[in-house]
A and B are shown apart, each in its own frame.
Chain A
Amino acid sequence: MPMTNPGVVLDIDRLVVRYADGPEVLQGISFTLAPQEIVGLIGASGAGKSTLLRAVQRLVEPTSGSVRLGGTELTSLGPAKLRDARRRMGMIFQEHALVDRLSVMENVLCGALGRTRFWHALRRRFDPTDVAHAFQLLERMGLSGFEDRRCDELSGGQRQRVGIARALIQNPELLLVDEPTASLDPAASVRIMTLISEVCAESGLAAVINLHDVPLARRFCPRILALHEGRIAFDGPPGELTDAVLTEIYGEEAVEPHVAVGFSEGVDRDD
């Protein structure tokens, strides 16, 4: 019987997720996440990476197994407690998860919706502490002065950073990051991953980061978890991730995709 170790941030035990019409997408996943640990989640499309993150948030319901966030069992929570639990986890999606027509500041403050009363939120009267925190986060993201700009006026990298700020304003214990660099060019991808790593280190956050780009995962994540057809195929430091393992996961001679890391022709209007 697994011991509930309060020191562990996330404890997943034999998690199974099966969609209504068919196959098991996750077939018994077990791993634990220590405080401040950063895990890169890799695997082919359909291997279950996104499903895993969503199952932790209970955006998809686990079929069986347990998910513990710092000792709290998530799978059995009712709606109100689930909301409380979600507040402790910050989830970062690809850039399209922002509300386009709202301003940057409003999007960031959305992260504080969980602790703001409905009418106050509607009239945009957020807690001054939250507002101060928001300003601080925007500055850290390099977006000072952008607070009143509409989100659909920003570049992909800028929007991603707004998403990060929104997750951070929750003061979470854990970050779940779903393909943050999927629609970014290589230079912006590196900038975003650098930012995420720095922020996790500064705030002492643990993180599970879903990445399709293996070199990026290797570079930024001290621990790699690889999924293959719903099971964990690898769990260890990037150094041990051999070509043989990659072939097994991605199914073919995994030629290292040579991503021109960091030196594309200044495409992103990020800065």
Chain B
Amino acid sequence: MTTEAARTWRPPPRIASASARRFAWVAAVAYALFAAATVDVDGARIAEGAARAADFFGGWLRPDFLTRWTDIRAGLVESVAMTLVATAGGFILSVPFGLGASRNLAPAPIYAGCRGALAVFRAFHEVLVAILFVAMFGFGGFAGVMTLVVATVGFLGKLLAEAVEEIDPAPLEALTAAGATWPSRITFGVLPQVMPRVLGLTLYRLDINFRESAIIGLVGAGGIGATLITAFARYEFESVSAILILIISMLLVAELVSSRLRRRLL
């Protein structure tokens, strides 16, 4: 316990073992070098793009809602329709999947099956699912609805299952002891505990679905995304900016409304 040794102090390093620290440094440097080598940035193309950027930002400052208004309106209406139908349908379907994926409710094979199904629904990006459904169902809103339903069921089903697994078992036990049938047990013992949260999440999903309806249109699944990509393809940046402004504003409003509704629910 010499006082000399006590005079210096350094904070203990965040990663304890010296070799792990060295590894982290080496890995970081190696990655940086690797990235620098393999990411090729085409300077010429960027310079070219500067001219187009001027065009683009010019378009931003002059959003044009009128020229393509019929298309824009059709796209927005379709997006809204898709969002409503898909969120409602997704919510309804998520209940059986979610209940089936709850360890405390479902027998093992059903549990495995539902968990697996939910994982599959969530595994692929919505754009990929949209491509598949467009190939199956043809272009348009139907494929879009199916895509969003799959995404919604995956999202809500998982969260519902997690909520169900966290419930207080006592009410359920009491109902079982009272001899209630299975549907009643669920309705009175499980759902009241989880429904407020799930409804809140469904409202949240409404926002997300609207946002996604804008992008699945890029691959042909209907909605405002299709209008957007057409405008892009035609280099009609004024329309592009108009569409984006509309999407952002609608999302802002939707977020405000849904957060207020969620607060009233909980």
Please list the residues of chain A having a beta carbon within 8 angstroms of any beta carbon in chain B: 103, 105-106, 124, 128, 131-132, 134-135, 147-148
* Interface membership of B39, Cβ < 8 A: no
* B8 lies within 8 A of A128 (CB): yes
| Nearest CB on B from A135, distance (A) | 5
Task: Flag if B7 contacts A131 (CB, 8 Å).
Answer: yes
Alpha-carbon gap, A135 to B3, bound state (A): 9
Kindly report which residue of chain B lies nearest to residue A135, judged by CB atoms: B6
Using Cβ atoms and an 8 Å threshold, which residues of chain B touch A148? 11-12
Q: Could you mark each residue 1-30 of chain B with 1 if its beta carbon is under 8 Å from any beta carbon of chain A, else 0? A: 001001111111000000000000000000
**11 A-B contacts, Cβ less than 8 Å apart?**
A103-B11, A103-B12, A105-B9, A105-B11, A124-B10, A128-B7, A131-B8, A132-B6, A135-B6, A135-B7, A135-B9
B12 to chain A, nearest CB (A): 5
A128 partner residues in chain B, CB cutoff 8 A:
7-8
A124: which B residues are within 8 A, CB to CB? 10-11
A-B contacts besides A106-B11, A135-B6, A148-B12, 18 pairs, CB < 8 Å: A103-B11, A103-B12, A105-B9, A105-B11, A124-B10, A124-B11, A128-B7, A131-B7, A131-B8, A131-B9, A132-B3, A132-B6, A132-B7, A134-B9, A135-B7, A135-B9, A147-B9, A148-B11
- Chain B contact residue count (CB 8 A cutoff): 8
Across the two chains, which residue of chain B brings its CB closest to A132?
B7
From B11, which residue of chain A is reached at the shortest CB distance? A124
Give every chain A residue within 8 A of B7 (Cβ-Cβ).
128, 131-132, 135
Q: How far is the CA of A147 from the CA of B3 in the complex (A)?
A: 15
A164 and B9 CA atoms in complex are apart in Å by: 20
Chain B residues within an 8 Å CB radius of A106: 11
Cβ–Cβ < 8 Å partners of B6 in chain A: 132, 135
CB-nearest residue of chain B to A102: B11
Q: Chain A nearest CB: distance from B242 CB in Å?
A: 45
CA separation between A124 and B12, bound complex, in Å? 11
Give complex CA distance A73, B1 in Å.
45
For B9, the chain A residues whose CB sits under 8 A away are: 105, 131, 134-135, 147
In whole angstroms, how far apart are the Cα atoms of A124 and B8 in the complex?
11
Distance (whole angstroms) from the CB of B97 to the closest CB of chain A: 40
CA A131 – CA B8 in complex, angstroms? 7
Q: Top 4 closest A-B pairs, CB basis?
A: A135-B6, A124-B11, A131-B9, A148-B12
What's the Cα separation between A86 and B11 when bound, in Å?
A: 27
Residues of B within 8 A of A134 (CB): 9
B10 contacts across to A, CB distance below 8 A: 124
**Measured CA separation A134–B6 after assembly (Å):** 10
Complex Cα distance A15/B166, Å?
55
Q: In the complex, A148→B10 CA distance in Å?
A: 9
Q: Which residue of A lies closest to B1 (CB)?
A: A144
On chain B, the residues within 8 Å of A131 by CB distance are: 7-9
Q: Which residues of B contact A135 (CB under 8 A)?
A: 6-7, 9
Bound complex: CA A190 to CA B3 (Å): 31
B98-131 vs A, Cβ < 8 Å mask (1 yes, 0 no)? 0000000000000000000000000000000000
Q: Compute how far the CA of A131 lies from the CA of B11 in the bound complex, rounded to whole angstroms.
A: 12
User: Within the complex, what minimum Cβ distance (angstroms) separates B58 from chain A?
Assistant: 43
Binary CB contact string for chain B from 60 to 76 against chain A (1 if under 8 A, 0 otherwise): 00000000000000000
Closest approach, in angstroms, between the C-beta of A110 and any C-beta of chain B? 13
Q: Which of chain B's residues has its CB closest to A126's CB?
A: B9
C-alpha spacing A145/B186, complex, angstroms? 56
Q: How far is the CB of A48 from chain B (nearest CB, A)?
A: 36
B7, B9, B12: residue with the most chain A Cβ atoms closer than 10 Å:
B9
Bound-state CA distance A131–B5 (Å) is: 12
Q: Chain B residues near A103: list those with CB within 8 A.
A: 11-12
Residue in B3, B6, B7, B10 whose Cβ sees the most chain A Cβ within 10 Å: B6
Report the minimal beta-carbon distance from A213 to chain B, rounded to whole angstroms.
Answer: 36
Give the docked Cα–Cα distance between A135 and B6 (Å). 7
Measured in the bound complex, the distance between the Cα atoms of B12 and A106 in whole Å is 11
Q: A128 CA to B3 CA in the complex, in Å?
A: 12
CB distance from A71 to the nearest CB of B (A): 35
Tell me the minimal C-beta distance from A107 to chain B in angstroms. Answer: 12
Q: In the complex, how many angstroms separate the beta carbon of A260 from the nearest chain B beta carbon?
A: 37
Task: Give the complex CA separation of A105 and B3 in angstroms.
Answer: 16
